[in-house]
Structure 1
Amino acid sequence: MFARLFNYLLDVRDRQRINIALSKGAAMMQARDIDFKKPSTWEFSGFSQNGEDGILDVLRKKLLSSNRYFIEIGAADGIENNTGWLLVAEKYNGMLIEGSAKLVERARRTIVGYSIGAECHNMFVTKESVLELKSMAFHLDPDVFSLDIDGNDYHIAKAILDGGFRPKIFVVEYNSVYGLERSLTIEYQPTFVFTKAHPTHLYYGVSISGWRKFFANYGYRFVTVDRNGVNGFFVDPKFFDKSFLDEVQGLMFAENQSQFIKFRKSSEDQFELIADQKFITI
């Protein structure tokens, strides 16, 4: 009885969060003064945390063809992520992947019902499980693929692209602690959890320079990072007008604001805290 009441109250709160996200996103979307050359003007956040909803909104509308499908790995409860706006406001179909069973249960009770073709799966993604992911997906070329797992992101992205996926827009988290120039990622560990890897929680993920080299090798073009220094955006150029991509003046790097506030140090000084860890040069 108590568990059902708790879940009911949790669901009520989550639906309130969804309504707030829709209202906030709509207001911010209308308030933008978009300059297609400057991605910083595209940003707004409804369900996303760092303006990703707005950047994806502009890029999606510039696609030459669309299947209105997304995949997100590291989707949390579905409400605070990079594809919640697509699912709820745009009625996209898609697949949410999350390693926490509790968060998946919440997503299935609330946000998944907003789109008839949305589903949420409990899965801890590794290089080896990407083939399973491929068999679950309706499209291997989704409009949007978002990857945010705070750890093996580079190794998973490589397995995704080598495994036959070809997203039109690929959103990846980068770790600003590596700075603009270092081209690094962590060693692959199938059970990696960043909160256990190092007491600072700074040892995880990929540098933005590393991502740019990685995606260039697969024929993708870099667009921008968000102003809060969390995500990088890459696109398959064959789905965009060349003149649009050529004119974009994206932000090359930004300090992760949460990490900067927490440590009150620049990325260069933060890196010294994990400099003795094992890295792979990309």
Structure 2
Amino acid sequence: MSDMLPEDASERQLLLTGRMAQWALQGRARLDHLAEAEFKVFSQWGEDGIIEWLVQRIPEITPRFVEFGVENFCEANCRFLLQNRSWRGLVMDGSDKNIKEIQGSPLYWQHDLTASCEFVTAETIDAILSRQGFTGNLGILSIDIDGNDWWVWERISVVNPQIVICEMNGVFGDLHPITIPYNPLFQRTKAHPSGLYFGASVGALKLLAERRGYMFLGTSSSGVNAFFIRNDLAGHVAGHLSQARAFPSRHRDSRNEKKELTFIRGLDRAKAIADMPVVRVDTGETVRLGDLGPLYSPEWLAAMG
């Protein structure tokens, strides 16, 4: 008689379903935009499918990843890679409880995974990566720290990722290259109770990517994560995409001072944080978000309804 736990059987079913979706993607040589490749196994939205489609396109991609901001790694961008393709990985989170949960799971001994409790800042990221033995080429670098994402990516120098995935803040719109001012102690819910003030706009990430030698490929349909490929590898992917499309976010995860969901939608999300400062990364100027004027293109406004 099998002693398999129900959660083990459920995870096996998830992996089998993901493997079937992976096989289906092998027939999708060309996409209109990245979101057409989406499927979800362990990712928050459809990033598992996008990642799988990109990995299939790049010959001899380095089978190593670094992902930070993973919480307990139950929902993460690179977990499917770890379990389905046996990549080696480094995951980091600022909660010791989350890291101990990862280290105590069967996943940790079954795969070549390193989990480390770290509060990632622009000043510490290179030292952390070097200490953990993750330098040089990476297949994927995934950044999601709900705050200084732009500033941390700007400072990373000890790894050379082939694909970069970075969380974007869709509330900041698509017309201005802006990010929160750098504060190494930044915490999203303490900065503004709504939780809407964090990170960088897709335009800011695109500008940084260009400076760092990466091409923008598009975003998830949720408007949460932006995808970039190193310029020397862009030829393997760019010709297979009709457009590099950025989607607006539509989720309504705003909160009040009691941390209760308030479900603010559309333009009202930006109005809620209009008095907060942002940095234009093209000029270095710090301004109020509300002083920038329109934040959203007609295409984004139409998609947001």
TM-score (norm 1): 0.86
Letter in 2 for 1:179: G
Q: CA separation of 1:143/1:189 partners in 2, compared to 1, >3 Å: closer, same or farther?
A: same
Contact 1:72 1:97 in 2 (8 A): yes
Letter in 2 for 1:210: A
Q: CA separation of 1:219/1:171 partners in 2, compared to 1, >3 Å: closer, same or farther?
A: same
Which residue of 130, 134, 139 maps to 2:125? 130
Q: What is the CA–CA distance in structure 2 between the aligned matches of 1:18 and 1:113, rounded to whole Å?
A: 16
Corresponding residue of 1:237? 231
Give unpaired runs (5+ residues) of structure 2.
255-260, 282-305
Q: What is the CA–CA distance in structure 2 between the aligned matches of 1:97 and 1:24, rounded to whole Å?
A: 27
Letter in 2 for 1:71: V
Bigger fraction of residues in helix: 1
**Quick check: 1:263 aligned with 2:257?**
no
Q: What is the CA–CA distance in structure 2 between the aligned matches of 1:259 and 1:35, rounded to whole Å?
A: 35
**Quick check: 1:201 aligned with 2:195?**
yes
**Quick check: 1:147 aligned with 2:140?**
no
Shift of 1:69: 0.4
SS at match of 2:160: coil
Q: What is the CA–CA distance in structure 1 between the aligned matches of 2:100 and 2:185, rounded to whole Å?
A: 22
Letter in 2 for 1:234: F
Contact 2:140 2:163 in 1 (8 A): yes
Shift of 1:211: 0.6
Deviations 1:134-168 (A, max 9, x none): 312334221011000101101111111xx232210
Q: CA separation of 1:67/1:29 partners in 2, compared to 1, >3 Å: closer, same or farther?
A: closer
Contact 1:151 1:186 in 2 (8 A): yes
**Number of residue pairs matched?**
266
Percentage identity across aligned positions? 28
Q: What is the CA–CA distance in structure 2 between the aligned matches of 1:154 and 1:205, rounded to whole Å?
A: 7
Letter in 1 for 2:49: G
Letter in 2 for 1:269: D
Q: CA separation of 1:172/1:264 partners in 2, compared to 1, >3 Å: closer, same or farther?
A: same
TM-score (norm 2): 0.80
Corresponding residue of 1:26? 19
Q: CA separation of 1:79/1:13 partners in 2, compared to 1, >3 Å: closer, same or farther?
A: farther
Provide the alpha-carbon RMSD of the alignment.
2.3
Letter in 1 for 2:79: G
**Quick check: 1:187 aligned with 2:163?**
no
SS at match of 1:26: helix
Contact 1:62 1:240 in 2 (8 A): no
Shift of 1:15: 4.8
SS at match of 1:251: coil
Contact 1:87 1:114 in 2 (8 A): no
Give unpaired runs (5+ residues) of structure 1.
1-11
Q: What is the CA–CA distance in structure 2 between the aligned matches of 1:149 and 1:91, rounded to whole Å?
A: 25
